[in-house]
Amino acid sequence: MSDDSRLDERIARLVRGADRNIPPGLEARVRAAAETANLRRGGRVRRPALGLFSRRALRILALVPGAAAAAALAAFLLVPALRKPPASPIAEIRTEFEIADKNIKIVFFQNPDFNLSEEE
């Protein structure tokens, strides 16, 4: 048996046996070894990527549906506000022409129901 497997078996026996006491100094040595191992790796455990995407890409992809919903909501709220108000119908147009030397005054009235393109 290799040293690692014997150590694993001893640790498993110690964990299973609740009546055994931890030898003095063992906990301090284990904590010190864990600290040095953590410092050697840069203080951060690197996990492998999931499938084709890294973890960062998966976080960004998780934000996409929310961003799309926010953009759609903004579009539905802003488009009606940016539209022009409907044109109000013209009540009546009055135009006057005067020919002074002939003493003629011409007055045109255009009603709202007047349609220039309609022929009768």
Predicted confidence at residue 83, as pLDDT, reads: 84
Give the mean model confidence (pLDDT) for residues 29-47. Answer: 69
Q: Tens digit of pLDDT for each residue in 63-88?
A: 999 999 999 999 998 888 888 877 77
Highest mean pLDDT among 68-72, 91-95, 106-110: 68-72
Give the mean model confidence (pLDDT) for residues 44-58. Answer: 66
Helix (H, G, I), strand (E, B) or coil at 109: strand
Domain positions in the chain = 3-40
Which tokens sit at 119? 């022929």
Which of 23-27, 71-75, 99-103, 104-108 has the least mean pLDDT? 23-27
Which tokens sit at 23? 């030898």
Which tokens sit at 81? 């506000």
